[in-house]
Structure 1
Amino acid sequence: MLNHPTYDKLTRLKLFGMARAFAEQSGLDLDHLGFDERLGLLIDHEATERDGKALALRLQRAKLKPNAAAEDIDYRHARGLDKPLFQRLLNGNWLTAHQNVLLTGPTGVGKTWLACALAHQACRQGYSAYYVRLPRLLDELSIGRADGRYSKLLKQLAKIDTLIIDDWGLAVLDDVHRRDLLEVLDDRHGVRSTIVTSQIPIEHWHAAIGDATLADAILDRLVHNAHHLNLKGESMRKKRAGLTSTHQQE
């Protein structure tokens, strides 16, 4: 490692990217570059390293499904994915506008993966994200109410730029669950973005929530400012396994 007062000072100042770039420059012939250019290279290296660390931390906290990234999206699979709409979503304007995304369709068509790919792209764009299944979210809030962390949990959820709620409608909601869900979505309405995945068509969500009044309030905060992608077709998991029907599976 380079033994140089400038390198040591950069390290003590925690400018590790600049320190590494300074060490690399010391071994190169850069006499053709002016001071401003060399300084610019050091600053660029520091900025790139900090951005990389910040992204890694956002992705770690997001708890997304592994390998869900925009460049790996399979648009060839016949599942009704609206490619132009999805590519517009990847641009991130819906996050700036604090809109939502709803992904519906049968199991196995890639709803969760696509939701995580959107959130992964959001993290790249500097937004925070968090993935959670609806049953687990409701359990965490119930535990929080019992141990005194309920308000803290709601505040944490309200600060997340991109919240993924997976498996919407699979859990049976009681009155407490419905009110918890309303609290979460009310805090986020108009100021944050939410991604929801569900096997249940949107037109059946009102009945799935159970209480008409609370269902109106919940869906008003979720559906009316949302982009909807309705996927269809056979399970991608089954196709990857070389199976296309129950008969073939046998």
Structure 2
Amino acid sequence: MLTHNTLDTLRHLKLTGMGDALEQQRAQPETHDLAFEERLALLVDREVLHRENRRLDRLLKAARLRVPACIEDIDYRHPRGLERSRMAALASSDWIRQSLNLCITGPTGCGKTWLACALGNQACRQGLSVRYLRVPRLFEQVRIAHGDGSYGRLMNQLLKTNLLILDDWGMQKITAQQRQDLMEVIEDRHGRGSTLIASQLPTEHWHDYIGSATLADAIMDRLLHGAHRLNLKGESLRKTNAQKTESVDPS
């Protein structure tokens, strides 16, 4: 009876991990031989792990990463210019803590989105907030926010995000209003949050993509000054993988 009351109290206090661990200890007679301090340590460790897992789940859900990717699964065999030492440095997420930016450029299919999501996943695992958006989707959200009065709230959400991933940068021309909106997003985050740009468009063509010379200068200065850059090369990974599949097809 006492144990049931304790379990109810633990769950009332939202100590779910400790409650689960206590039930597990009751079901495992070998833990009864442990000292009180040892059993208590196991309960506390379980609660810490439970909270870390819940936080990670919340961060990943909020990030809305486009693909499930993680740093450990990076394929370095494909010749696209990836260096293990450099990826290890980026995987530390120190650049995010320092509010620096990262630009990943390269041809279609070389893994830009996958790498961006892998770095986003890694940041979430380190307790940092992440948000993934395709640039057209960002512009659409900002347009809607202008109309329904939620613009301030949206901009505040973007500002508070440790890492903002903007994918498909440079895929289509932008309007004067979108150019101004982009400037506001980048300016708000400058020095206060990290932005990861994934684009097929080489950085030397970004000025023409943005359009207005004055705004283009301002946006590029804030995005590229001191930023890390990954310029991927080589054939499409999708094409290479398809060829490998065909070569082992027994039909």
Which bracket does the TM-score occupy, shorter chain normalised? over 0.9
Please tell me the residue identity of whatever aligns with 1:17: G
Percent of residue pairs bearing the same amino acid type: 51
Map of 1:64 onto structure 2? 65
**1:83 offset after TM fit, Å?**
2.4
Alignment of 1:1-250 (within 5 A): 4-27=4-27, 28-242=29-243
Query: Are the counterparts in 1 of residues 106 and 200 from structure 2 also a CA contact under 8 Å?
Result: yes
Higher helix share: 2
* Of 142-151 and 107-116, the range deviating more from structure 2: 142-151
Q: For this pair of structures, how many residues does the alignment match?
A: 243
> In structure 2, the residue corresponding to 1:221 is in which secondary structure?
helix
Please tell me the residue identity of whatever aligns with 1:5: N
Please tell me the residue identity of whatever aligns with 1:191: R
Map of 1:248 onto structure 2? none
Please tell me the residue identity of whatever aligns with 1:43: V
* TM-score of the pair, normalised by structure 1: 0.93
**1:8 offset after TM fit, Å?**
1.9
**1:238 offset after TM fit, Å?**
1.1
> In structure 1, the residue corresponding to 2:30 is in which secondary structure?
coil
Alignment CA distance shift 1:173-1:108 (3 Å):
same
Map of 1:247 onto structure 2? none
Query: Are the counterparts in 1 of residues 68 and 117 from structure 2 also a CA contact under 8 Å?
Result: no
Query: Are the counterparts in 1 of residues 116 and 196 from structure 2 also a CA contact under 8 Å?
Result: yes
Poorly superposed stretches of 4+, deviation over 6 Å: none
Query: Are the counterparts in 2 of residues 82 and 229 from structure 1 also a CA contact under 8 Å?
Result: no
Query: Are the counterparts in 1 of residues 65 and 117 from structure 2 also a CA contact under 8 Å?
Result: yes
**1:113 offset after TM fit, Å?**
0.4
Gaps of 5+ in 2: 245-251
Aligned partners of 1:197, 1:52: CA distance in 2, in Å? 28
Aligned partners of 2:172, 2:150: CA distance in 1, in Å? 23
> In structure 1, the residue corresponding to 2:9 is in which secondary structure?
helix
Structure 1, residues 176-220: CA drift from partner, whole Å, max 9, x if none? Answer: 111101110111111111100111111111111111100011011
**1:6 offset after TM fit, Å?**
1.3
The alignment yields a C-alpha RMSD, in angstroms, of: 1.6
Query: Are the counterparts in 2 of residues 22 and 42 from structure 1 also a CA contact under 8 Å?
Result: yes
Gaps of 5+ in 1: 244-250
Query: Are the counterparts in 2 of residues 100 and 193 from structure 1 also a CA contact under 8 Å?
Result: yes
Please tell me the residue identity of whatever aligns with 2:226: N
* Of 4-13 and 140-149, the range deviating more from structure 2: 4-13
